[in-house]
Amino acid sequence: MTTAQAMDIKWIDHDNVADSAFREYAEGKLELLEKLWRQTDETSVRLSSRRGLYTVEITLFSGGLVTRGEEHAENVRLAFDNAYDRVERQLRRYKKKARAQKRHQNNRDEAGTIINATAGMLNEQEEEADLEEIAPVRVKRFSVKPMTPEEASLQMDLLGHSFFVFRHAENHEVHVVYRRGDGGYGLIETVVD
CATH number belonging to the domain at 110-189, selected among 3.40.50.12660, 3.90.1170.50, 3.30.505.50, 3.10.20.30: 3.30.505.50
| Distances in whole angstroms, Cα of residue 62 to Cα of each of 41, 133, 144, 147 | 5, 39, 16, 14
Which amino acid is residue 121, in one-letter code? M
Distance CA(28)–CA(23), nearest Å, equals: 8
- Over the stretch 147-158, which tens digit does the pLDDT of each residue have? 898 888 888 888
Q: For the chain, where do the domains classified as CATH 3.30.160.100 start and end?
A: 2-104
Per-residue pLDDT, 136: 64
Specify whether the CB–CB gap between 175 and 146 falls below 8 A.
no
DSSP string for 124-159: HHHHHHHHHH---S--------EE-HHHHHHHHHHH
Cβ–Cβ contacts within 10 Å for residue 166, how many? 21
- Dump pLDDT digits (tens) for 13-68: 877 878 889 989 999 898 888 777 777 778 889 999 888 899 999 988 877 778 88
- The structural architecture, per CATH, of the domain 2-104 is 2-Layer Sandwich (3.30)
Return residue ranges of the chain for CATH 3.30.505.50: 110-189
Q: Which residue has the higher pLDDT, 171 or 2?
A: 171
